[in-house]
Structure 1
Amino acid sequence: MSALIDAIRRHPDAADFLDWPGDFDLDRGEHVEEVHLASGALLKGFAGDGGGGTYFFCGEGGEERPVLYADSEGGAALLALGLPELLRLLLVVPWWRDCPALTVEQSREAAAEYLEDMPDLAEHRDRAAALLGLDLPTEAEALARLREVATGPGRDHALVFTPENTPYRPLIRA
């Protein structure tokens, strides 16, 4: 069952916000190179970004599976333990890639640039969240959870470039 994926497809306002500023598109699930998880667990691309990055479900199951992100530059991180958690992150801190230390200060600096282009960003975000039936965390909570997932359970989700059997570098460090 893919309730949230179906909801995104049914609600253009939510899909539009996730596409920009979230840089998350369900029509871009193919990764640019052959990869696998070091553990051997199933890896299934289901969305991507404009820069060639891919969002993968890890393991068996549905939308509750861990979500790993791999960029096109050889970096990867486990971002969320399930699609609902990923969407909360993308709704609250869509510029997470611009926050290498994952601090609220960095997030607010990055947000300022987005707000110049979209002054009503919070209104659009809240509408998308309501359409998807998601309660949103605070910015600090979303960033703290991202760090917790990436540096905790994320250690067990190492992505490997298959042709050379070399690991991707971690995008988020403890």
Structure 2
Amino acid sequence: MESLIAALRQQEEAARFLAWPGDFDLDRGDHVEDVHLASGAALEGFAGDGTGGTYFFCGEGDEERPVLYADSEGSAALVAIGLPELLRLLLVAPWWRDCQTFTEDESRALEAEYREDMPDLAARRDRAAAALGLSLPDQASALARLREVATRLGEEFVLIFTPEGHAYEPLFTT
């Protein structure tokens, strides 16, 4: 099976959608600060966003490893178990960082704002998913999974600012 990262580099339309509105760029994998996981597990930056945030693979393995997101303001959260799950989230709810309550109503309101600037959002999303061979969950399912991963499973993935030994703040408050 071809890696999703390789497929994304080959699928220009999918990469464009993930770059915007997904704010996900494979060429931005360097985090601005020296960080490590409290557990001592491996941490590998592989993508970033336009605000200085970084997506990290956690532990050993391939694209099925847990994915932690750290913003440039000192907050972090586990956001997916594996790259396929992350890409599904970015495709279905690219505004996920603003969904602090993880509700479908909140997501639909944010989606309406995005559709004002991008009326073909759903068609572009569906083409990107097809190009990457991904089936998409509905928004409610994607956000419920984000909540589960970030608030329950993510408790074991604490990001530490290495020079000072301080933990990043949780990205989501529940």
Moved over 4 A (4+): none
CA 1:83 to 1:167, structure 2 compared with 1: closer, same or farther past 3 Å? same
Please tell me the residue identity of whatever aligns with 1:95: W
Partner in structure 2 of residue 145 of structure 1:
145
The 1:157–1:136 alpha-carbon spacing in structure 2 relative to 1, beyond 3 Å, is same
* C-alpha distance in 2 between matches for 1:34 and 1:153: 24
Please state how far the C-alpha of 1:106 moved relative to its aligned partner.
0.9
Map Cα deviations across residues 68-88 of structure 1 (whole Å, 9 max, x no partner). Answer: 000000000000000000000
Q: Is the counterpart of residue 52 in structure 1 residue 55 in structure 2?
A: no
**2:13: which partner in 1?**
13
- CA–CA distance in structure 2, aligned partners of residues 87 and 31 of structure 1: 20
TM score, norm. by length of structure 2 = 0.98
1:29 and 1:2, CA in 2 relative to 1: closer, same or farther beyond 3 A? Answer: farther
- The count of corresponding residues between Structure 1 and Structure 2 is 174
1:171 corresponds in structure 2 to 171
How much has 1:2 moved relative to structure 2?
6.4
* 3-state SS in 2 of match to 1:47: strand
Question: What is the RMSD of the two structures over their aligned residues, measured on CA atoms?
Answer: 1.0
Displacement of 1:99: 1.2
- What secondary structure, in the 3-state scheme, does the structure 2 residue paired with 1:134 have? coil
- The 3 A distance-change label for structure 1 pair 156 and 52 is same
Q: Distance in 1 between matches of 2:163 and 2:57?
A: 21
What is the one-letter code of the residue matched to 1:51? T
Structure 1 residue 25 corresponds to structure 2 residue 25:
yes
Superposition pairs for residues 19-98 of structure 1, below 5 Å? 19-98=19-98
Give the alignment's TM-score, normalised by structure 1.
0.98
CA contact (8 A) 1:2 1:63 kept: no
- Specify the alignment match of 1:111 in structure 2: 111
1:151 Cα shift? 1.2
**Distance in structure 1 (CA, Å) of the matches to 2:120 and 2:76:** 31
Q: Distance in 2 between matches of 1:2 and 1:101?
A: 35
Alpha-carbon shift at residue 62 of structure 1 (Å): 0.3
Question: How far apart are the structure 2 equivalents of 1:81 and 1:98?
Answer: 20
CA distance in 2, matches of 1:102, 1:150: 11
Q: Deviations over 1:21-67 (max 9, x none)?
A: 00000000000100000000000000000000000000000000000
Residue by residue over 1:70-115, the C-alpha shift from the partner in whole angstroms, topping out at 9 and shown as x without a partner, is 0000000000000000000000000011111111111111111110
**Letter aligned with residue 163 of structure 1:** P
Q: Does 1:124 pair with 2:124? A: yes
The whole-number CA distance in structure 2 between the counterparts of 1:115 and 1:53 is 24
Contact persistence 1:2–1:62 (CA under 8 A): no
Letter in 2 for 1:86: L
| CA distance in 2: counterparts of 1:2 and 1:82, whole angstroms | 15
